[in-house]
A and B are shown apart, each in its own frame.
Chain A
């Protein structure tokens, strides 16, 4: 029988070729494509890891049968690590600066950088084929990278302060839908802060309190339950993070993405028939209704709630209606997961605490929004890009020129989009608000004006209205 060691050259070449084929796109990028600095850092990491991997394989050998037995599987492990990178590279190469809504996402990233410890964080955007926003767990990627470094000499460290977020390829031109990236940034923080460990402990504790026979269950069953509760808890954390990062425009984008306003009947009340069809939990996510209720309850305790109540948007009606949904209703509608909902609810105070802690002492921009929102919306109604706002500050003789933060612009723009498109179109001679293509035309204009204002705000020194005006003018 042929010594299997003699085939190693073939197997090593096959793996070398596999790596070579994966990084081929990185080394032959389209000359016309431009990438964000974050994408350049990520692609540079991949390229450098490919070089060190190929060098390692070129000198890889075993001296005897014993070493063959010990080391043969190493090739499979290296191949597996490259398979992981494989799925990220092409989508990253496709998402050049012409294909992603850079201004809006940049604005959201600027808001993200207000969080202590994340002021240098950058995000690589890539495209997903499905309509899903996805966060690549860079904490896991970073951990794997460090393990790979122990295996492959001179391999690079994963770039610090780098996150990867996938967005639906179709959403490049939209502004408001992309508020959902805030949820993915929540995953980035959740993993970075290793909140999984502490929430597993909380889930375990909640399960112990919820079931008298919990301790008697076998370990695998207990692990299974903990796993479900912890996964759901992570999703709730990320939703609350999204709300804290962007305010209600995150929740409005969420409602629209999953068409949750469909649960309202014609009188603006909850339709039992339609809501009950949407209450079943998924393996990895709580139901959308449960998630929305948690966001609504979280907003209720924020500065934003009174403003939401005054807003004439249908989404505001939904948020107020859903807040009173009883936990027993969720349990009743979940034949498979119902028994785990009470333990999940028991962990919610810890989830809220963890999300709030991230934003300790960070301005929620509500004061600024309250002052500038009418002005931003009037600019939009007049077809003016709200980059610099001329406003009269009460008690001062001169008109001040200020710019609004991305958070203010997104919330004002979103409100305008939800409430005032008809009004805008009626003010334009010849427009008919019942024509979908024309509605879309003006919705796109609103999104572009908001995106342009966010971009302009990044080019000029920010004039933080709240700071300029002083606390006496916030009321």
Chain B
């Protein structure tokens, strides 16, 4: 079960969230999951897999080190509040160091297949990420997506 931070600060932030970013994150997580399944079956690690995992890994790294996510422009990590918030929620229930290490092992080049442990942890993470992003997306009180 995912942790739920019910502090007033966080509740306010969710209420003003842009739903589209949750949906985008759910789709990213889904893309990663499908690619991990393919990699597990011996398929080549695709561009999609690398991109999805790289964005998540970089962001988790920054969250773990409390680095400034906005200090520089980078396409390598998530910058939307909804994405970062959801990543933070999901990663807090997992061991961040092991998770990042497992994700990085999936990015490593070479013929060697990732270990079952690494694959298992990555799958658990992306499954949780997709579910949590959908949970936020399905908040009946949140704003319409896309509109500006």
Contact = CB atoms under 8 A, between A and B. Distances in A.
Tell whether A and B belong to one assembly.
yes
Interface of A: 67, 69-71, 73-74, 76-77, 80-81, 84, 87-88, 134-137, 140-141, 143-144, 147-148, 150-151, 166, 184, 187, 191, 197-198, 200-201, 203-204, 219-224, 226-227, 234, 238, 283-284
Given A144-B24, A198-B73, A150 B48 contact: yes
17 contacts: A71-B33, A73-B127, A73-B130, A73-B131, A73-B134, A76-B134, A80-B137, A80-B138, A135-B148, A150-B31, A166-B147, A187-B148, A201-B72, A204-B68, A221-B9, A223-B70, A283-B16
A220 B148 contact: no
A80 B19 CA distance: 10
Interface residues of B, number: 41
B128 to A, nearest CB: 10
A143 B24 contact: yes
A60 B24 CA distance: 22
Given A197-B73, A197-B79, A70 B26 contact: no
Q: Determine the main DSSP class of B at the interface with A.
A: helix
B139 to A, nearest CB: 12
Contact of B146 (A67, A137, A219): A137
Nearest to A202: B70
B20 interface: yes
B31 to A, nearest CB: 5
**Max chain B CB contacts within 10 Å: which of A184, A200, A219?**
A219
Contacts of A283: 16
B79 A84 contact: no
Given A81-B27, A147-B28, 18 more contacts: A67-B37, A70-B37, A71-B37, A73-B130, A77-B130, A80-B26, A136-B148, A137-B146, A144-B23, A147-B24, A150-B27, A150-B31, A151-B27, A151-B30, A219-B66, A220-B88, A283-B16, A284-B16
A71 B123 CA distance: 11
A465 to B, nearest CB: 35
Interface string B94-131: 00000000000000000000000000000100010011
A140 B70 contact: no
Contacts of B16: 227, 283-284
A67 B37 CA distance: 8
Nearest to A234: B148
Q: Determine the main DSSP class of A at the interface with B.
A: helix
B39 interface: no
B76 interface: no
Contacts of B127: 69-70, 73
B144 interface: yes
Contacts of B23: 77, 80-81, 84, 144
A69 B37 CA distance: 12
Nearest to B62: A219
**Max chain A CB contacts within 10 Å: which of B28, B63, B70?**
B70
B85 to A, nearest CB: 8
A200 B37 contact: no
A130 to B, nearest CB: 11
Contact of B70 (A73, A81, A141, A201): A201
Contacts of B31: 147, 150-151
Contact of B73 (A80, A136, A201): A201
Contacts of B28: 147
A223 B134 contact: no
A314 B141 CA distance: 41
B56 interface: no
A201 B71 CA distance: 6
A220 B9 contact: yes
Given A73-B127, A220-B10, A184 B148 contact: yes
Nearest to B70: A204
B27 A84 contact: no
B69 A219 contact: yes
